[in-house]
Amino acid sequence: MQVCDVVIVGAGAAGLFCAGVAGQLGLSVVLIDHSEKIAEKIRISGGGRCNFTNRLIDASAPHKHFISENLHFCRSALARYTAENFIDLVQRHGIPFHEKHKGQLFCDRTSEDLIQMLLKECEAGQVQRRQGCSVKSVRALPGGGYEVATEQEPLQTASLVIATGGLSVPKIGATDFGYRIAEQFGLRMVARRPGLVPLTFDGAQWAAYAQLAGLALPVRIETGVKKSHMSFDEDLLFTHRGLSGPAVLQISSYWQEGQALNLNLTPAQDIQALLMQAKARSQKLIGNELGAWLPHRLADAWVQQDPQWQRPVSQASDKSLSQLAQKLMHWSLTPTGSEGYKKAEVTLGGVDTRDLSSQTMESKQPGLYFIGEVVDVSGWLGGYNFQWAWSSAFACAQGLKQKLANTQP
């Protein structure tokens, strides 16, 4: 049986980074992952360029960009290891990157650059990696520490870190392993559901719009009322089954089953004033006029909804143009569901933060830590979830070092 200071289960963003930092702090680390391929979620994210952090993260106000039953929990870790800290690491490794918009940072070349950086950090910390190695069971030892039975040699460790992520994108190996370990040791859980996920509509409701699949446009999207109200100004994408794109992915994390979505399809224009101006000067069909402010396919689909909109704008009544404008600015529709974990970018909910230390990520079960997506902290689209992975991993590694120092004679 191999004995080590730390076993980390899960070689994704959080697990790789935690292993590298802990190893370089002088701990003996074994990193285990059941998949033969390493860090697949990093590899596929951001269209293969990995949106690895966001410059706009405000650690003092996590409610701006994060979702959790306890939003104060993530403050400490985000403040102690910031986006700037990770950017410094990326620059030290000579990885070129660029900012797209709203603070989102992407690799210039490929996400493989980032994976190689994390592997080099692990090498610098002399981390032992077991890839394609499943954990069969975990047992707490009477005198403290854990025995981890794997497909290879069993391990005995003082500390165990769970960095296995959530349920999103099962085709690349996502499982509920982390949640099962949390439940095994009596930790509380927050209900899980897909987040950052496309939304779907039933066939009859969506029939008029299915033909628009592939069409995109900037919108304002809203859901909820009063305290639960949330809105985003982002791009919308029509799909065969419903809606996607950054606007819908963002709002999906706040949308609750049965709630309506409200969309303004012309957020940058006063469409009512523009239609009235067109009436005074144009002989074109209403649909053709709309094509100046909306994608033509969407304009055509929209005017098909009512015969009074299928005429020259000059012949339309003020009332019908006003009704058209109001529908474009206040399109209300209720999704019937989502595309689920197979298309979700993150899992909402997870290990309840009430049972974790915000300073170290250690659970109420001594020596057992949880980091990254498995915890009930989820970020917006745009690099926020990766920054939570880096920050929680760093906090955990520091906590592991401190725990080892306190137990050594």
Task: Based on the fold, state whether residues 262 and 134 are members of the same structural domain.
Answer: no
Domain span holding position 130: 2-194+346-407
For tokens 């859901």, the residue is: 223
Beta strands in 216-256 (DSSP E): 216-223, 230-238, 242-244
Residues (pLDDT < 50) of the chain are none
> In terms of domains, do 178 and 46 share one?
yes
Does 188 share its domain with 220?
no
The pLDDT of residue 409: 62
Bridge partner residues of 220 (DSSP): 233, 264
Looking at residue 203, what is its pLDDT? 83
Can you give the pLDDT at residue 204?
84
The amino acid present at 301, given as its one-letter code, is A
User: Which pLDDT belongs to residue 404?
Assistant: 83
Same domain, 208 and 187: no
Last residue of a domain, one of 284, 317, 339: 339
27 and 175 belong to one structural domain: yes
Give pLDDT, residue 116. Answer: 98
Do residues 286 and 397 share a domain?
no
CATH number at residue 57: 3.50.50.60
Instruction: Looking at the structure, tell me whether residues 219 and 316 fall in a common domain.
Output: yes
The predicted structure's pLDDT at residue 205: 82
Identify the pLDDT of residue 224. 87
pLDDT at 306: 93
Can you tell me the distance from the alpha carbon of 167 to that of 180, in angstroms, rounded to the nearest whole number? 12
pTM for the full model?
0.95
Q: At a CB cut-off of 8 Å and minimum separation 6, what does 324 contact?
A: 275, 286, 302, 303, 306, 309
pLDDT of residue 407: 77
Q: Among 316, 339, 362, give the residue marking a domain's end.
A: 339
284-293: long-range contacts at Cβ-Cβ below 8 A with a sequence spacing of 24 or more?
Answer: 284/312, 284/313, 285/310, 285/311, 285/312, 285/313, 286/310, 286/311, 286/312, 286/313, 286/316, 286/321, 286/324, 289/313, 293/266, 293/269
Indicate the angle between helix axes 83-92 and 384-407, nearest 10 degrees: 90
Q: Is 220 helix (H, G, I), strand (E, B) or coil?
A: strand
Per-residue pLDDT tens digits for 373-407: 999 999 999 999 999 999 999 999 999 999 888 87
Question: Are 275 and 367 part of one and the same domain?
Answer: no
Looking at the structure, tell me whether residues 32 and 174 fall in a common domain: yes
Strand partners, 131: 33
pLDDT score of 272? 95
Q: Are residues 135 and 251 in the same domain?
A: no
Residue 183 tokens read as 């439940």
Residue ending a domain, choose from 317, 339, 361:
339
- Structural domain total, the chain: 2
Cβ neighbours of residue 170 closer than 8 Å, sequence gap 6 or more: 341, 342
CATH number for 274: 2.40.30.10
